[in-house]
Amino acid sequence: MHDTLPLLAHSDFPAIARRHLDILQVNLGYKCNQRCLHCHVNAGPTRTEMMAADTLALIPEVLAARQIKTLDLTGGAPELHEQFRELVSAASALGVKVIDRCNLTILFEPEQDGLAEFLAAHKVEIVASLPCYSLENVDAQRGEGVFDKSIAGLQLLNSLGYGKAGSGLILNLVYNPQGPSLPPNQQVLEADYRRELMAHFGIEFNHLFALANMPIKRFGSTLVSKGQFAPYMDLLKTNYSAANLDSVMCRNLVSVDWLGNLYDCDFNQQLELPLPNQAVRHLRDLLVSNLDGDEIAIADHCFGCTAGQGSSCGGAL
């Protein structure tokens, strides 16, 4: 547990509290068709943890009970859950916006026929990881052949209208740095992505999200093994910006793990830092209780969300 122990010590990160819950972010399981170096979930093809049917059935109930506006599905590769399409259909029927955090290569996996068309039919917003617009950098971070498949996935989504002006089909891309550094300016990088992807592949997209790598799990372990953990934490703390506190994702989001347990964010989930409110610890508790005004569990990794331009599930703050 070298990747988590340094983060659980006393933190001088400022106390923050929740606002109204607008986003339910659900991790459907840790199984993935990729195994990325920067993955803070340690997801991969050999992981077997997947959400049970009775837990998944609670999700539409909670969406309706709390009048939640957005369902944000993640993993692993969330599409590998056998009830993924059923859940998307149920949430869409409630008028809830659904976000799929898609690694793009999943579109070409066996038993995923028609996945792209299904997502388009339900107007699912796609947030697709593409850590660079060059083959060498993407394959180094995500595995050989991933870049070419990712480009093919983006071209398939474009052919269905994703990323096209006026289509109503939102396609956002995600950038992660290669190593222990802060992301560059999001607006400048988005312009670079837009220019390069159009020039070389004819690809269009809506926005680019530049996310900082969190010093936990697989990425944290890599930092520890290379003696880079302390310097990276120093970098995050030195670049702390109090202005970002107002917009961090934990203000209006709750993260749900594959067992239905609740956390303030996806990173706290991986560190097993539970909600401070002991009366609301599981998905079923949200059927009768809300989180408005509750304290948020904090630790040193929170500096990763507030350093520099800030970083959240929606990119720079």
Between 9 and 165, the higher pLDDT residue:
165
**CB neighbourhood size of 67 (10 A):** 11
pLDDT at 181 over 80: yes
The per-residue pLDDT for 46 is 80
Longest dimension (CA), the chain: 53
% of the chain beyond a pLDDT of 90: 74
**The Cα angle at residue 145 between residues 38 and 112, in degrees rounded to 5:** 90
Query: Which pLDDT score is estimated for 10?
Result: 59
Whether the CB-CB separation of 261 and 297 falls below 8 Å is answered with: no
What are the Cα distances from residue 277, in Å, to 5, 286, 295, 308?
Answer: 23, 12, 8, 30
- Per-residue pLDDT, averaged over 41-64, amounts to 90
Crossing angle of helices 217-225 and 229-238, in 10° steps, is: 120
Domains with residue ranges and CATH for the chain: 5-306 (3.20.20.70)
In this prediction the pTM is: 0.91
Pick from 311, 274, 316: nearest CA to 296: 274
CB atoms within 10 A of CB 110: 6
Beta bridge partner(s), residue 85? none
Structure tokens at 190: 């988005």
Interval 284-303: pLDDT, tens: 999 999 999 999 999 999 99
How far is residue 29's CA from residue 235's CA, in Å, rounded to a whole number? 31
Per residue in 63-121, pLDDT (tens digit) is 999 999 999 999 889 999 999 999 999 999 999 999 999 999 999 998 899 999 999 99
